[in-house]
Each structure stands twice: as C-alpha cells, then as structure tokens.
Amino acid sequence: MTLQDTLLGAAKAAQLGNYKPNPLVLTKGEGRRVTDADGRTYLDFLAGVAVTSVGHAHPELVRAIAEQAGTLMQVSNHVFNERAIELAVELVKRTGFARAFFCNSGTEANEAMLKIARHHHFARGDAERTEYVATYRGFHGRTMGALSVTGQAKYHEGMQPLIPGVTFVELNDVDALRAAVGPRTAAVIVEPIQAEGGIHVATDDYLRAIRRICDEAGALMLLDEVQTGYGRTGRFLAREWSGVVPDACSLAKAMGGGMPIGAMLVTERLAGSLPPGSHGTTYGGNALACAAALAVLRIFDAEGLVQNAASMGERLARGTAALVEKHARVAVGTRGKGLLQGLVLASTVDANKFVAACIERGLLLSVVGGDCVRFVPALNVTAAEVDEALAIVDAVLQDAPRKSE
C-alpha cells in the first residue's frame, strides 16, 4: 500500500462522503503544479476550482498571509480592521461599485445579494417584492437561498422545500425573461458565464436586456461573478465585456488565491439597503483573508495577470478549437472567455473517464454540465503550460474513453 492508498482509506472511513473526488491526495503545490502523496506531479488546470488565481505557493501571497497571521487575524465586526478597509477602497476604485461587503464564500456572497434585494424593496415600502428570476443551468451555491435560485434539479433533490417565488428562464431568451419579470420580482440573478452549468456564455445583448427589463419593471439586477470575477475572463470583472452595470455583484473563488473570502459589491442605489443589524457574518472581512485578497491584487498588477488571462485564454481557446477540428467525432465544440474555457465532448464519450485519463497523463481538470471539460488554470499560467495541457488532452482525445453500453 502506498501512502496515498492509506490516506484514501482513512478518508473513506472518516470523511462524510458528500463528494465524489478523484482518488488523488494532493500534498504540495508550486506555481501551476501539484504533487500527490506518492510524489507524482500534475499540471493543475482545475486550480482548486478557479480559486488559486496566482498559482500555488506564490511567494508574495505566502508572505502576506504569514505576516498578517502574525500581526492580527480576526477582530470581529464590532470594530474595524485596516486590511478590510484597504480592500474595500481598492475594490471600489477598481470596479466603480460604491460599497463592498465581505463574507467567506461564493454562496454567502449570493445570499447577501438575495437579502439586500428584498430589504431594498422592503425599506422602500414595497414589501410584496420578494420573488426572484434565475436561469436554468445556473449555479449560485449550496445554502438554502442560493440553492433556491440554482436552476439545476439535481441539486434540489431531497432538499425541498426551498424558498418560494423563484421562476427559472432559459439563458439568452429575452422574451422568456420579459414574461417572467413582474411587479413581485425583487431581482433577477444571473452569471455572465454559467460555469458549473457547462460554460454557457450570456450574450452581451442578453445582459443589456436584463438591465433594461429590470429597470422597466422596478426589479434589481444581480450578477454572480463568483467564478468569472477577479480577472478570470481577461477583464477584472466579466461585466466589463458588456458594459452592463448590475445593482450588485458577487465575488469569491479567485479573490483570495486560496484563502476563503467572498464579497458583494453594490452600486450607490443599494449603499444603504442593508442597514445596521440587517445582515452579517462573524468571519466576514477578517484581516487575514483581506490581506490575501490584497496580495492577489498586488500580484495581478505587478505581473499583468488580468492581461495574461486574456492572452493565455485566447491561446487556450485557439488550441481547443483546433482539437475540435482534429477530433470532430469525440470533441464537438468549445465555449468560454479568457481563462474559463470549455471543450464539449460528444455524447458517446464518458466524461468522467476522460478526466481520469487526463489525470493519468498528468493533467488535473474537471467536467461541468455533464459533457464539458473545464479549463480554469491560474491566471499566471504560461504559454508552455497551456500547450502542455492541450497536448495531453489531444492524446486523450486520440483514444477517448467511450460510455459503456
């Protein structure tokens, strides 16, 4: 038995079993490479699910976290802390939003958006506006509110009753949206790119239509940028591609570079919509997590990583498109923007075995939406690493594992 086998046995006995992970225990990471318990290394195009935005063990991020841990980690929201103030100022400056609220994960950032939307209408005397419109295939998190606006039945199974008054519409269908939004709609919530749902891109026209329809109906527009934000698509926020300004947007994943942190950014309109006492979180905005998010921004600037995400994303998109041409029987399309890219497998291919075969060849990635291979490497990924990943996928496509009959 190897060390990894021993650890996997212990995991099976002691961990809950709510995930179905690959049989891989990672023990170390550096840059875009991770090492398992038996000493094998992998090129990491999963990146902790789009989280390790500056790669593993970036010296500047490590230094900032260690220094903050030795200075001040947590003070509660009964007082202020310097790092949270600095991070809020920095995000306001970079995004044009008016205010920032900090939390610890993507689902919490979305809960904050759902709650601020209701409270905004409540405070204006329109307490009937409690409903939400969301999209099929959307993913907003696992807590009850975020789960309720997640448009995928598999996540709802056995978890009902969810919060009432949620209507789902097809992404990019403007007529369906117009029909769904009404006088009881508190907000429309959408991802600029449905990531977990299979990398389906909302068109710029659709995002503009949401803004228009919300304005006409008196509803708010909430943009879930948990996966697309913080540089992932080659802009700091994905909303910059369309120019649409939502009333609020949520961030998390890439933000802390691995340190758990999330945020809700709001425009001036919502700046006073969660008055003192209406919402909160013990750890939200703790100095340690904020120090990490600030270090990530410094690294982005020093190394030009948002620009790198754009150019490496183009390289990756060209590469996956070439693979579709070469292996048309088993790879049928590409979707994405920047370093959030997907390669769609034919229905005959076993997607899980495909991922396992990539891992076997030293490339870590994942499948979303059932048939879409997702590439979300760190934003400082190099051209050589992109080419290396593409070469491995090329080899696996050559002998793509088929679904068993």
Ligand X SMILES: *Cc1c(COP(=O)(O)O)cnc(C)c1O
Nearer of residues 114 and 177 to ligand X, judged by Cβ: 114
Cα–Cα dist 372/117, whole Å: 33
Those residues with Cβ within 8 angstroms of residue 405's Cβ, 6 or more apart along the chain or in another chain: none
Which of residues 44, 191, 371, 385 is near ligand X by CB under 6 A? 191
Which of residues 4, 107, 185, 308 is near ligand X by CB under 6 A? 107
Structural element, H or E, at residue 375: strand 372-375
Which residues share a beta bridge with 128?
none
Q: Least distance (Å) from ligand X to the CB of residue 107?
A: 3
Which residue is nearest to ligand X, using beta carbons? Answer: 106
Q: Least distance (Å) from ligand X to the CB of residue 362?
A: 25
Q: Enumerate residues 375-404 that contact ligand X by CB under 6 A.
A: none
Which of residues 139, 168, 206, 300 is near ligand X by CB under 6 A? 139
Which of residues 187, 220, 244, 252 is near ligand X by CB under 6 A? 252
Nearer of residues 106 and 313 to ligand X, judged by Cβ: 106
Interface region with ligand X, contact rule CB under 6 A, candidates 133-141, 180-188, 263-271, 392-400: 133-141
Q: Least distance (Å) from ligand X to the CB of residue 394?
A: 27
Q: Least distance (Å) from ligand X to the CB of residue 309?
A: 16
Those residues with Cβ within 8 angstroms of residue 272's Cβ, 6 or more apart along the chain or in another chain: none
Q: Least distance (Å) from ligand X to the CB of residue 108?
A: 7
End-to-end CA gap in the chain: 33
Q: How many residues bind ligand X (CB under 6 A)?
A: 15
Q: Which parts of 152-218 fold into alpha helices (H)?
A: 153-156, 174-180, 204-217
Cα–Cα dist 129/139, whole Å: 23
Distance of CA 323 to the CA centre of its chain: 25
- Measure Cα distances from 247 to 176, 210, 266, 314, 386 in Å: 21, 11, 6, 30, 36
Cα–Cα dist 96/301, whole Å: 18
Q: Least distance (Å) from ligand X to the CB of residue 266?
A: 17
Cα–Cα dist 273/294, whole Å: 26
| 111 in contact with ligand X (CB under 6 A) | no
Q: Least distance (Å) from ligand X to the CB of residue 216?
A: 26
| 105 in contact with ligand X (CB under 6 A) | yes
| 140 in contact with ligand X (CB under 6 A) | yes
Nearer of residues 83 and 200 to ligand X, judged by Cβ: 200
- Side-chain-side CA neighbours of 257 within 13 Å: the count stands at 32
Longest distance between any two alpha carbons in the chain, whole Å: 66
**Tokens 């190897």 -> residue:** 2
DSSP letter, residue 203: P
| 257 in contact with ligand X (CB under 6 A) | no
Cα–Cα dist 258/48, whole Å: 8
Nearer of residues 255 and 323 to ligand X, judged by Cβ: 255
- Relative to beta strand 340-345, strand 363-364 is unpaired
Nearer of residues 4 and 52 to ligand X, judged by Cβ: 52
Q: Least distance (Å) from ligand X to the CB of residue 182?
A: 25
| 53 in contact with ligand X (CB under 6 A) | no
Q: Least distance (Å) from ligand X to the CB of residue 191?
A: 5
Binding site for ligand X (CB under 6 A): 105-107, 110, 139-141, 191, 195-196, 224, 226-227, 252-253
